[in-house]
Chain A
Amino acid sequence: KNQVEQSPQSLIILEGKNCTLQCNYTVSPFSNLRWYKQDTGRGPVSLTIMTFSENTKSNGRYTATLDADTKQSSLHITASQLSDSASYICVVRSWGNTDKLIFGTGTRLQVFP
């Protein structure tokens, strides 16, 4: 069964600290993996998209990694800011005629001053 699991479910850190969010997937065949940031009550916004051949990609203070062999991805946030408080969702796209995106349940990050 195609699944995307994220950990931790929730995380609290102090402003200025770094953190790493994890995503494990069992989706096959794999097309790409995306990380989204979702503020409460808003739609998700894309942070990064990674294909099979990419193992790291940065977007400002966000750095995503992908290990296609172990089917794991991480999102590292550097020097966290209060505005980083949000849910971070890992999404894996599967090839095939259904063109499906499989969503993780997200990690709820709270950054405190």
Chain B
Amino acid sequence: DGGITQSPKYLFRKEGQNVTLSCEQNLNHDAMYWYRQDPGQGLRLIYYSQIVNDFQKGDIAEGYSVSREKKESFPLTVTSAQKNPTAFYLCASSNSENTEAFFGQGTRLTVV
């Protein structure tokens, strides 16, 4: 089945620890995105990548890092520098033209 897969679905982290969220797609999409969703707010863009080995900061990149070594994979690392990391994280991918973005099922990160 073609699609976009995020793992894990739930993640708990202690304060001061880095954690990496996985996002894999087999849709052959060039562009991949990471969003953060908080209650009562729209999705906010963290990082995006339009091509392998290239990525750009979104609106709220501080405290996050990404890599795009393969077309299929766009992992997000939440570092200890992120002051309020507890949130629902969504990964998406799309073709470079005017087609829909496909979303993963999300990872809920909780800092304990």
Q: Which residues of A pack against B, CB within 8 Å?
A: 4, 31-32, 34, 36, 41-46, 49, 51, 89, 91, 93, 98-106
Q: How far is the CA of A30 from the CA of B50 in the complex (A)?
A: 19
A105 pairs with B90, CB closer than 8 A: no
Given known contacts A42-B106, A43-B103, A43-B105, A31 and B42 CB-to-CB distance under 8 angstroms = no
Residues of chain B lying within 8 A (CB to CB) of residue A49: 98-100
Q: Is B18 an interface residue (CB 8 A)?
A: no
Cβ 8 A contact of B108, one of A41, A51, A89, A106? A41
A4 pairs with B42, CB closer than 8 A: yes
Residues of chain A lying within 8 A (CB to CB) of residue B48: 99
Q: How far is the CA of A34 from the CA of B42 in the complex (A)?
A: 14
A104 pairs with B42, CB closer than 8 A: yes
A46 pairs with B105, CB closer than 8 A: no
Cβ 8 A contact of A31, one of B6, B45, B92, B98? B98
Residues of chain B lying within 8 A (CB to CB) of residue A36: 103
Residues of chain B lying within 8 A (CB to CB) of residue A34: 100-101
Residues of chain B lying within 8 A (CB to CB) of residue A93: 98
For the residues of A in contact with B, the DSSP-based class is: strand
Q: How far is the CA of A103 from the CA of B50 in the complex (A)?
A: 19
Q: Is B85 an interface residue (CB 8 A)?
A: no
B42 pairs with A46, CB closer than 8 A: no
Residues of chain A lying within 8 A (CB to CB) of residue B33: 101
Q: Is B28 an interface residue (CB 8 A)?
A: no
Cβ 8 A contact of A44, one of B31, B50, B90? B90
Minimum CB–CB distance from B9 to chain A (whole Å) comes to 9
Residues of chain A lying within 8 A (CB to CB) of residue B84: none
Q: Is B56 an interface residue (CB 8 A)?
A: yes
Given known contacts A41-B108, A105-B41, A105-B42, A99 and B101 CB-to-CB distance under 8 angstroms = no
Tell me which residues from 81 to 112 in chain B have a Cβ below 8 Å from any Cβ of chain A: 88, 90, 92, 96, 98-106, 108
Residues of chain B lying within 8 A (CB to CB) of residue A103: 35, 42-44
* Chain A: CB-nearest residue to B40: A105
Minimum CB–CB distance from A8 to chain B (whole Å) comes to 14
Inter-chain pairs besides A45-B103, A101-B33, A105-B42, 8 sampled, C-beta below 8 Å: A36-B103, A41-B108, A44-B103, A89-B43, A99-B31, A104-B42, A105-B40, A106-B42
